[in-house]
Amino acid sequence: MSSSLTSSTSDAPKIRRVALMGSRAVGKSSMVVRYVHDVFNDSYFPTIEETFTKQLTFHGQVYEVEIIDTAGQDEFSIFNGRHALDVHGYVLVYSVTSKQSFDMVTIIRDKILNFTGTDWAPIVLVGNKTDLQGQRQVSREEGDELASKWKCLSCETSAKKNSNIGRAFELMLAEMEKSTDAVPEDKKGECLIL
Ligand SMILES: Nc1nc2c(ncn2[C@@H]2O[C@H](COP(=O)(O)OP(=O)(O)OP(=O)(O)O)[C@@H](O)[C@H]2O)c(=O)[nH]1
């Protein structure tokens, strides 16, 4: 965790809600469990939906971040509108070992934008499972290229090795604050950005 996340402040916490979305078994639950409880489990238990909360300090502001760990999606999943109306941003996760899961994040983003009627949303693109280097199907460059096309931030992580997990959520806060900065002062804190 970076020092910017650990310094203290007396400000009241800002609530920020984040939805973690992506194909099945890319490691969404493992990322959030690593982030909130700092543990990793090799077993796979498919998620229905679960919400985690973590308090942290970022750029001198205390945040209470609610992370919605959604069920894995496929091209036939119906986009849950509640995730568009009720969240400030999205972490779209693929596995660097699965080209199919990389293709799926584009489908999910399209569904988000279709639902919200916007051409941009606060998204952080995350390629997980970097510890499985020998099984890579998606290069770092392909991830960077997609993120730059989407004008969003991105990183690669390993929930197993606890690599870059804190950074992924830190980038999410940065992305959300960038978009709330564009919202008039009296509207800040409301979920108007989507
Ligand atoms: N090697 C490795 N395995 C991982 C990593 N992250 C998750 N896994 C494994 O991948 C499998 C799926 O992980 P989950 O966290 O359940 O994946 P999920 O995306 O939440 O899956 P759904 O609930 O189906 O959407 C589990 O066996 C995890 O142990 C990682 O960074 N490296």
ipTM above 0.90, yes or no: yes
Please list the pLDDT of the chain residue by residue as tens digits (194 residues): 333 444 445 568 999 999 999 999 999 999 999 999 999 999 999 989 999 999 989 888 999 999 999 999 998 888 887 777 789 999 999 999 999 999 999 999 999 999 889 999 999 999 999 999 999 999 999 999 999 999 999 999 999 999 999 999 999 999 888 876 544 344 333 333 32
Distance from C-alpha of 62 to C-alpha of 132, rounded to nearest angstrom: 35
User: What strand order describes the sheet that includes 61-70?
Assistant: 49-58, 61-70, 14-22, 89-95, 123-128, 153-156
Q: How far is the CA of 141 from the centre of ligand 1 (A)?
A: 22
Q: How far is the CA of 27 from the centre of ligand 1 (A)?
A: 3
Q: Residue 57's closest CA among 124, 1, 17? A: 1
Q: What predicted TM-score, i.e. pTM, was given to this entire model?
A: 0.88
Q: Which of 20, 21, 24, 30 to mutate to test the pocket of ligand 1 (most atoms within 8 A of CB)?
A: 30
Q: Domains of the chain, with CATH numbers?
A: 3-180 (3.40.50.300)
